[in-house]
Amino acid sequence: MDEDYSEIGEPRSAASSMETGAAPLLAWRRTFAENRELVNQRPNTSEGSVSAPDGDVLTIPITATPTKRLVAYFSMEIALENAMPSYSGGLGVLAGDTIRAAADIRLPMVAVSLLYRKGYFRQRLAEDGTQTEEPVEWNVEKFLKEESPRVKVTLENRPVQLRAWRYSAKGVRGYEVPIYFLDADLEGNDPKDRELTGSLYGGDPYYRLSQEVLLGVGGVRILRALGYTDLMRYHMNEGHAALLTMELLDEEAKRAGRTSVKAQDIEKVRNKCVFTTHTPVPAGHDKFPVEYLTRLFPDQVRFFDAGDASSSDLMKAVMQVEQSYPDLQEAARRGASVNMTYLALSLSNYVNGVAQLHGKVSRKMFPNIPIEAITNGVHAATWTSPAFRDLFDRYISSWREDNYSLRGALGLPPEEVWTAHLLAKHDLLETVRKKTGLKLDPEAFTIGFARRATGYKRADLILSDLDRLRQIAKNVGSFQIVYAGKAHPRDAGGKEIIKRIFKAKKALKKAVTIVFLDDYNMDLGGKITAGGDLWLNTPQYPLEASGTSGMKAALNGVPSLSILDGWWVEGHIEGVTGWSMGETHLGDPGPDTLVNHAEDAESLYAKLESVILPMYYEERNRYLSVMQHAIAINGSFFNTQRMVQQYITDAYLR
């Protein structure tokens, strides 16, 4: 698929990438090699620094004292360990991978999230696939260290005390990035306030907004109490943290001896903030009635100076209205709403989508706002299976410090790549046996699919025509499918998809064996991405902002068969790094783009029947070549080491 990215960088097509033997590294304003060399030249001391390789080298030395940090990274969820239920899915996994990469390259960063004592939920599946949810109780003290400072956030004129629990992410060179989890479960707090750090994405919209107040406002205050007073950038990972801008505005106004916000405050805060949006559809962005804000902050109804043009314009932008309101109370009376994404967009100096295509989608969604794109990645050392870690350690010794060196995977002995793959596959099949009692065939082609169960991800697309699946398995070669994924407790459609998969499983019986593993988490996701022979990705175009599971698979030599959406537009070279399916879409992408599900399913069947299965069973050396190219091209580039370096040069040093 040829793409013109001239508006944001050098155009690069898959064809030209193949000609040069390079990955399609779209819109990367400088070569990754330049960044890599600067990182590797950095001495391994307690000093941290960040460099901008853009002509002249710009270096900012930051002494790595506990409170001397450059960037504060805010995320509603952060995945750090499998046994810590501090995440629900992709957003949290990306946040954890970002922090680990920051530690690896010694970026002076501190991170903030909320502590969820009941986690997200533990998934239970009945025989027919009906999902039920249970709270996840965990021992906080086993993983986190309580910090002594306390801060206060006032909600509905009630003081809510917050404390922080610390987790340290240690990088490959020993550098640590602290993560602080905010906790309202303290004696003296109102019982309902103590529950605000109970469940991730739980409760009603008012509960959710109250959580976002604690994250944004409470997060900035706890950083100040812990001594982080010299932060230069505040990075909001999605709009949940947007209210941190309100606390920063309040700080600026108070420094000037005012109680309301004016133009100069807005400009100062905007220069400090970075916003990453992940959502390609308008309905996915948090939006709350202004009345909720006036209930939470009854004494702040005149926070914005209606007589100040910039302050008034900000109010209109955040509420998406044409008229001005004298204060928030009047806005609430007229039924106005506050959009957290527009709040973050309006108060950020740098805004980005999470893949080049998603950048285009976001610019169409928010046409008056300059939105760049930094394609997501995954933390290579975290998502590489033990067998491949051992292989890389023996042949590409610098791969942990320098992910780009994985381009050397083309020189790995193919028989050792295959051996490592078989070990990862064995690990997956053993996991299936332990969880289900079912023994899958180690010789059979195994397809992995592990995503959140929701409509647009179309987990059941491959099950559209069961007779066709039986025919392919009989005539071309046997295959089996390993599924996993949770549906949000309130996503009835997602829960129905799981039930349809279970129904298809019973209908297919032994013709095509299907297993659905319950309680999807980091550990299970790692086993499925590493242990399959093919990673299947079937999102409805263009609703996949990025997707990172296929990147994890690539690190383990598992090629993808995917719709050309999200990151795969950049990572796909047909028959080299994997395969595409479905229609190649032209023109401006948008959430209303028409998609033919039947044609997508037929394309999937055709590629599986005519190309992939025959290559796997009859031309194993060719399949191995695709596996090695997946590592060398995609594994070496689609990682958070490259991603964080791009944030440094494009956003943090902007």
Does pLDDT of 134 surpass 60?
Answer: yes
Angle between helix 90-104 and helix 640-647 axes, rounded to 10 deg: 80
Question: What pLDDT is recorded for position 50?
Answer: 46
pTM of the model: 0.91
The token pair at 281 is 């559809």
Long-range contacts of 433-439 (CB under 8 A, 24+ apart): 435/517, 435/518, 436/515, 436/517, 438/513, 438/515
Query: Which CATH number, 3.30.70.2860, 3.40.50.2000, 3.10.580.10, 3.90.1070.10, labels domain 391-642?
Result: 3.40.50.2000
For range 371-377, the mean pLDDT:
98
Question: pLDDT-derived band of residue 430, with 50, 70 and 90 as boundaries?
Answer: very high
Question: What pLDDT is recorded for position 22?
Answer: 35
Would you say 642 and 505 are in contact if contact means Cβ atoms under 8 Å apart? no
Q: What three-state secondary structure class fits 333?
A: helix
The token pair at 554 is 């690539």
Question: What pLDDT is recorded for position 590?
Answer: 67
Point out which residues pair with 169 in neighbouring strands: 177
For range 115-119, the mean pLDDT:
95
The token pair at 8 is 């944001």
| Distance between CA atoms of residues 158 and 172, nearest Å | 44
Question: What pLDDT is recorded for position 654?
Answer: 86
CB-count exposure of residue 7 (10 Å: 0-12, 13-18, 19+):
exposed
Closest to 199 (Cα-Cα) out of 129, 121, 299: 121
Angle between helix 263-270 and helix 244-255 axes, rounded to 10 deg: 130
- What does the pLDDT look like over 266-321, one tens digit per residue? 999 999 999 999 988 777 788 999 999 999 999 888 888 878 999 999 999 999 99
For range 76-86, the mean pLDDT:
97
The distance of Cα 646 from the centroid of its chain, to the nearest Å, equals: 16
| Distance between CA atoms of residues 326 and 320, nearest Å | 16
Three state DSSP letters for 122-182: EEEECCCCCEEEECCCCCHHHHCEEEEEEEEEEECCEEEEEEEEEEEEECCCCCEEEEEEE
CA–CA distance from 190 to each of 9, 47, 117, 187 (Å)?
53, 43, 17, 8
Question: What pLDDT is recorded for position 46?
Answer: 40
Q: What b/e sequence results for 167-197 when a residue is b if at least 16 CB atoms lie within 10 Å of its CB, and e otherwise?
A: bebebbeebebbbbbbbbbeeebeeebbbbb
Cβ neighbours of 360 (radius 10 Å): 23
Domain ranges of the chain: 53-377, 391-642
Question: What pLDDT is recorded for position 457?
Answer: 96
CATH hierarchy code of domain 53-377: 3.40.50.2000
- What does the pLDDT look like over 223-279, one tens digit per residue? 999 999 999 999 999 999 999 999 999 999 999 999 999 999 999 999 999 999 998
Mean pLDDT, all residues of the chain: 90
Question: What pLDDT is recorded for position 301?
Answer: 81
- What does the pLDDT look like over 484-497, one tens digit per residue? 999 999 999 999 99
- What does the pLDDT look like over 33-75, one tens digit per residue? 444 444 444 444 444 444 333 333 334 444 446 678 999 999 9
Query: What backbone phi and psi angles, to 5 degrees, belong to 289?
Result: -60, 140
CA–CA distance from 155 to each of 204, 305, 329, 364 (Å)?
16, 22, 16, 36
Instruction: Give residue 449's identity as a one-letter amino acid code.
Output: F
Residue with more model confidence, 405 or 307: 405
Question: What pLDDT is recorded for position 591?
Answer: 65
Would you say 540 and 456 are in contact if contact means Cβ atoms under 8 Å apart? yes
| Distance between CA atoms of residues 651 and 654, nearest Å | 5
- What does the pLDDT look like over 577-625, one tens digit per residue? 999 999 877 666 766 677 899 999 999 999 999 999 999 999 999 999 9
Question: What pLDDT is recorded for position 65?
Answer: 63
Q: Which DSSP state fits 21?
A: T
Residue with more model confidence, 652 or 304: 652
Q: What three-state secondary structure class fits 359?
A: helix
Question: What pLDDT is recorded for position 302?
Answer: 85
The token pair at 2 is 């040829």
Point out which residues pair with 113 in neighbouring strands: 181
Share of the chain above pLDDT 90, in %: 83
Of 47-56, 140-149, 506-515, 609-618, the poorest mean pLDDT is in: 47-56
Cβ neighbours of 338 (radius 10 Å): 24
Q: For strand 534-537 and strand 445-450, is the pairing parallel, antiparallel, or unpaired? A: parallel
- What does the pLDDT look like over 3-29, one tens digit per residue? 322 222 232 333 333 333 333 333 333
Would you say 605 and 472 are in contact if contact means Cβ atoms under 8 Å apart? yes
CB-count exposure of residue 4 (10 Å: 0-12, 13-18, 19+):
exposed
The reply to whether domains 53-377 and 391-642 share a CATH topology is yes
Does pLDDT of 332 surpass 90?
Answer: yes
Cα angle for residues 631, 632, 635 (degrees, 5° grid): 50
Closest to 557 (Cα-Cα) out of 333, 437, 383: 383
The distance of Cα 653 from the centroid of its chain, to the nearest Å, equals: 22
Question: What pLDDT is recorded for position 12?
Answer: 31
For range 370-377, the mean pLDDT:
98
Cα angle for residues 573, 574, 577 (degrees, 5° grid): 55
Question: pLDDT-derived band of residue 30, with 50, 70 and 90 as boundaries?
Answer: very low
Q: What three-state secondary structure class fits 526?
A: helix
Does pLDDT of 568 surpass 50?
Answer: yes
